[in-house]
Chain A
Amino acid sequence: MAQASEIVPGFDRRTAEALANRQLKIAIDRTAGTARAKRAAIVGEWPDFAVARAHGKAIKDHVVAHLGHYLAEFERNAVASGAVVHFARTADEAATIVVGICEAAGAKRVTRSKSMLGEEIGLPHALEAAGIERTETDLAEHIVQLAGERPSHIIWPAMHKTREEIHELFKAGHAAPDLGETPVEMAASARRILREKFHAADVGISGANFLIADSGSVAVVTNEGNAELTTTLPPVHIVTAGIEKLVPSAGHALQMLRLLVRSATGAAMTQYTTFHTGPKRAGDADGPREFHIVLVDNGRTRMLAEEGGLRDMLRCIRCGACMNHCPVFNQIGGHAYGGTYPGPMGAVLTPALDGLSMQTRDLAHACTLNGRCREVCPVDIPLPTLLRGWRTKSWREGLEPVTMRSGLSLWRSLATHPLAYRLGVAAASLALRLMAGRSRRIRRLPLVGGAWTRHRDMPAPSGSTFLNSAAARARAPGRGKGEIR
């Protein structure tokens, strides 16, 4: 199997590549556009969606505030059901545990149903390094695996692929040169190929959407049914889950599910919602004889320590609505973000998981602070605030480039010296008007301003400065002193 393709270094370069790729924009528009329309329609049908959303937030806040209690309760009940519970502090530790279980079972072939946590802990690579044949069974993950790529969206991993590109991949990957090019024919071909893989697998690996503390159950949702085939046919089922997936009971999980499905795909319910409680029972018609649950920290307890900050991100239920509605994501797609998780939630999570560095500092700047992500977030995560938090941290740790630092220093000294500020702004305004000339548009700015005018014109300033206008309004009759309207 092909290895995950190398990620182009540097956010700027990845973004430039993505923007130059016209196929990518077409592919994103087709899926994300449908997703936005369907979500808006179903949320519109529920007058009290805002109440349900506030309630969902309260459930997740409750769990996060008592995470130790629920983790211990889940472990106790899962063990009582016959599950083997493992704990992993890091991504590597988690991947090593999963590979170890596969090797102990003598597994040669594993099937996986889509799990972003599996991507986060590098499971595809770890399985291949151990010489185990890995088959991705979610249709989109199957496409991504055939292409030798990584997922570009947490709900639609192949969002970046047009149907024409998928057709070419399937003709080659399914050894079916005559394959028809409709989505129905392509899906039928994948069904034939993958059905054999399901039957042949020694181990099935899934993620978890919810960990139910009071029963020790693991809930997994899919629309294709691939998770059920992955987790029922092989003799061993391994779940990998982040510890933030806990909920007190199935009742709480179902309430969260109502929000998750509507926000993710715009449906009222997923086609398959399965609660796994332990391995096959005595006399059961089917099910795995071994059931392992690997509970992963990988930075989550660090986030938990940041009350009023990254702790809020532990509410995330991975619906993908923030990226579908993000103007930046819709231009550059998921791969440009360079991490496991793209879009607004990814820009917040990636530095939390991988550390803030020269490689991850750019992500928080890939945001217009328009706030749409927070509006559509089913658990009201203050994503713009958390992104601003990363910008501040990046500044404090000296990760911002020299141009940014010197520009902001200049700005600060101007802003704290009113006379210099007024003179400076008046001079700049005059200079820009002269530069614009009669067209009142500036085609090329000097120095760092060139980055702006490379892709668009800059309008000339209108005339009066903000401070002059404000002062004039304050002097006008009927207005309070200094009041700005």
Chain B
Amino acid sequence: MSEARDTIFAAIRGALGSLADTPADEIRREAARLLETPERVRPILPEGTAVELFVAAVKRLPPGASVERVLDISAVPAAVAAHLQRLGISGLARIQPVAPLAGLDWHSAGISVTETVDEGVAVTFVETGIAETASLVVRSGPASAILDSILPLHHVAVLPASGIVRHLDEAFSPADLKAGRNVMIVTGPSGTTDIEGNLVIGVHGPRTLHVVIVG
């Protein structure tokens, strides 16, 4: 191991004194205690089901975020087509090649499937949503590129109603983090306040984010 590493660890030990001898078990117990009563340190959510709270939270996000609910996955292509029509753009979209989306009839809904994602439209599938913050939990994998949620100008995310949790801290576990390269929590479209504090939507990532809740 490097000299720098040894120096830093020795400096920490020197600075902490006897604290540095705390048994690992004791440290782990203390860390767990700090998460024991999450209800005391979470923002209070209004009454309602997780889905209702999620919908209400999306509506509180800045412009560019929208949400709708369909009863069955087969209704998704028509919902996407209608959304694109509302945006006034053509029905050309990248469809993430994941099982729930790949088998749908996009053609009949008037959607032409493309591989191009840069500055275009991408439809992705997301397993988990968070009601507290109106967020989507995007996980990287062979069929789910992280860039599908960042490169397009318009992003449509398909989210099963059963995947919506109430609180931020319920969204994933340490095992989830180790299971893939990226876990990305996406909350509304891209934005900036870097010019005199003015909110501008769509600076590097998508300008619109539409969530289609299924079920």
A284 touches B44 (CB 8 A): no
The answer, yes or no, to whether A468 is at the interface (CB within 8 Å) is no
B14 to chain A, nearest CB (A): 7
A255 touches B27 (CB 8 A): no
B204 touches A226 (CB 8 A): yes
Segment touching A, from B69-77, B81-89, B157-165, B172-180? B172-180
Kindly list chain A residues whose C-beta atoms are within 8 Å of the C-beta of B173: 250
**Most-contacted residue by chain A among B8, B119, B143, B145 (CB, 10 A):** B8
Kindly list chain A residues whose C-beta atoms are within 8 Å of the C-beta of B203: 139, 187, 190-191, 224-226
Kindly list chain B residues whose C-beta atoms are within 8 Å of the C-beta of A252: 31, 34-35
Kindly list chain B residues whose C-beta atoms are within 8 Å of the C-beta of A278: 181
A187 touches B147 (CB 8 A): no
**Most-contacted residue by chain A among B12, B140, B186 (CB, 10 A):** B12
Segment touching B, from A81-89, A355-363, A379-387, A432-440? A81-89
Kindly list chain B residues whose C-beta atoms are within 8 Å of the C-beta of A198: 204
Interface size on B, residues (CB 8 A): 77
B195 touches A183 (CB 8 A): yes
The answer, yes or no, to whether A263 is at the interface (CB within 8 Å) is no
A282 to chain B, nearest CB (A): 9
B34 touches A58 (CB 8 A): yes
**Distance between Cα atoms of A240 and B141 in the complex (Å):** 25
The answer, yes or no, to whether A137 is at the interface (CB within 8 Å) is yes
**Distance between Cα atoms of A84 and B136 in the complex (Å):** 29
Segment touching A, from B17-25, B47-55, B100-108? B17-25
Q: If the complex has contacts A66-B27, A304-B16, are A287 and B182 also in contact, measured as CB distance less than 8 A? A: yes
B196 touches A215 (CB 8 A): no
B9 touches A71 (CB 8 A): yes
| B161-212, CB < 8 A from A | 168-169, 171-174, 177-178, 180-198, 200, 202-206
**Distance between Cα atoms of A81 and B132 in the complex (Å):** 30
The 8 Å CB contact of B177, one of A140, A143, A215, A224, is: A215
Chain A residue at minimum C-beta to C-beta distance from B96: A285
Q: If the complex has contacts A190-B203, A215-B177, are A277 and B185 also in contact, measured as CB distance less than 8 A? A: no
The 8 Å CB contact of A277, one of B31, B180, B187, is: B180
B151 to chain A, nearest CB (A): 8
The 8 Å CB contact of A275, one of B4, B168, B183, B200, is: B183
The answer, yes or no, to whether B13 is at the interface (CB within 8 Å) is yes
A34 touches B202 (CB 8 A): no
Kindly list chain A residues whose C-beta atoms are within 8 Å of the C-beta of B196: 27, 30-31, 162-163, 183
| A171-201, CB < 8 A from B | 183-184, 186-188, 190-191, 194-195, 198
Chain B residue at minimum C-beta to C-beta distance from A221: B185
**Most-contacted residue by chain B among A47, A89, A93, A257 (CB, 10 A):** A89
A225 touches B12 (CB 8 A): no
The answer, yes or no, to whether B66 is at the interface (CB within 8 Å) is no
The answer, yes or no, to whether B150 is at the interface (CB within 8 Å) is yes
Chain B residue at minimum C-beta to C-beta distance from A157: B194
**Distance between Cα atoms of A287 and B44 in the complex (Å):** 36
Kindly list chain B residues whose C-beta atoms are within 8 Å of the C-beta of A27: 196
The answer, yes or no, to whether A212 is at the interface (CB within 8 Å) is yes
B12 touches A34 (CB 8 A): no
A293 to chain B, nearest CB (A): 12
B22 touches A287 (CB 8 A): no
**Distance between Cα atoms of A198 and B150 in the complex (Å):** 12
Segment touching B, from A265-273, A365-373, A405-413, A474-482? A265-273
B169 touches A251 (CB 8 A): yes
Q: A67-B12, A286-B147 are in contact. List 8 more A-B contacts (CB 8 A).
A: A68-B13, A77-B178, A166-B195, A225-B205, A249-B174, A285-B144, A285-B147, A304-B15
List 25 A-B pairs, Cβ < 8 Å: A62-B31, A68-B20, A69-B24, A139-B194, A163-B198, A183-B200, A187-B202, A198-B204, A215-B177, A228-B149, A228-B184, A229-B151, A232-B147, A248-B31, A249-B31, A250-B174, A251-B35, A255-B35, A269-B133, A270-B187, A273-B187, A285-B146, A286-B146, A295-B8, A301-B12
List the 8 closest A-B pairs by CB distance, nearest first: A225-B205, A301-B11, A285-B145, A305-B15, A269-B133, A140-B194, A31-B197, A34-B197
